[in-house]
A = this chain, B = another copy of it.
Amino acid sequence: MTIKDVAARAGVSVGTVSRVLSGSPATSAAARERVRSAVTELGYRPDARARALRSARSNAVGLLLSDVRNPFFAEVAHGAEQAALAASYVTLLANANEDTTQQDTYLEAFLTQRVDGIIVAPQGEGSGNLRALEQARTPLVFVDRTVEDFDVPSVTADNAQGVDLAVAHLAAHGHTRIGYIGGPPSVSTGRARHDAFLAAVASHGLDEDPALIAVGDFRSASGSTAAATLLAGRRPPTAMLAADSLMAVGALGEVRRRGLRIGTDLALVSFDDIEWFKELDPPLTVVAHDARALGESAMRLLLDVIEGRPAESVVQPMRLVVRESSTGRPAD
């Protein structure tokens, strides 16, 4: 079932079929009609591969995220995908699994698939294939995270602002010893939030105790461990800030196991507003940014690059959503 069959059925040449199908103005109404009915009668579908081969355009983009099982990235994926769909691009989604090797494997796959562009939430210091991408001049956009020394447009969140909002809020509630459960320094958001935390603690005149800082890897198990470390100290924190939702959940479990009650015994604030955080008991205070919008913006930015429009990096603001976990009472 190829364009030839359609041409034969419609009694025209393949050129005419192609023109009708691609909406060229150089077609007669009669031809359009004949072709359209032949297409539906035969159930013909153009072969995207052949089309891409000939036109040097695949209408496919790659989306490489670090962990789709992280609700935050699932939402980013959804936003990006919807934006691509609206522009009739197909999205190839790949999951790096927080692993640099898999990241390279998928970048390689994207390259051989000749996608028109790639969105990536990178980890590590620019792996080999990330450099190859730059060299191959494949349009590239970073989402959520960045890599130093890469001059790539990106859509990120204002991490410093987010951290400061959280710390200011906790300070306003009288906390002076805030524990921080951070992300890995190999990821830009991990570094940015860590630095911002140190700065915020200093600027608000709070305790600058190294024992109040623990490092995780953005997964829940590390959140448990980090919380355990913080709480086992001689002078444990009265509030904790987790750099992502999975680690916050891990911390939640550890706190419960120690018989403490979030909100009253210990304040907890998390990054990333996951849908069900407000359903928890108590509901969780979060530093939120719109993950879906992040994905949408990244995709639009990528399409701008692909289609030669000017592309400007964007930094999304974060906002604080106050709930009971940090106040001990229902939010106003």
Chain A residues proximal to chain B, CB less than 8 Å: 43, 45-50, 52-53, 58, 60, 68-69, 71, 74-75, 77-78, 81-82, 85, 90-95, 97, 102, 105, 108-109, 111-114, 132, 135-136, 220, 224, 246, 249-250, 252-253, 256, 262, 275-276, 278-281
Contact = CB atoms under 8 A, between A and B. Distances in A.
A236 to B, nearest CB: 19
A71 B220 CA distance: 14
Contact of A77 (B68, B75, B82, B253): B68
Residue in A53, A60, A97, A102 with the greatest tally of chain B CB atoms within 10 Å: A53
A77 B74 CA distance: 11
A142 to B, nearest CB: 20
Copies of this protein chain in the complex: 2
A50 B53 contact: yes
B90 A113 contact: yes
Given A53-B47, A58-B49, A249-B279, A95 B78 contact: yes
A246 B46 CA distance: 39
Given A53-B47, A78-B95, A85 B113 contact: no
18 contacts: A43-B135, A48-B113, A48-B114, A49-B49, A49-B53, A69-B71, A69-B78, A69-B275, A71-B74, A92-B92, A220-B276, A246-B275, A246-B276, A250-B279, A252-B281, A253-B278, A256-B279, A256-B281
Contacts of A136: 43
Contacts of A253: 276, 278-279
Contacts of A132: 43
Nearest to A245: B276
A81 B52 contact: no
B47 A114 contact: yes
A52 B90 CA distance: 17
A53 B93 CA distance: 22
Contacts of A252: 276, 279-281
A281 B281 contact: yes
Nearest to A277: B249
Contacts of A280: 252, 280-281
Contact of A71 (B46, B71, B114): B71
A112 B48 contact: yes
Nearest to A63: B93
Nearest to A89: B109
Instruction: List 4 tightest A-B contacts by C-beta distance, closest first.
Output: A253-B279, A93-B93, A249-B276, A49-B49
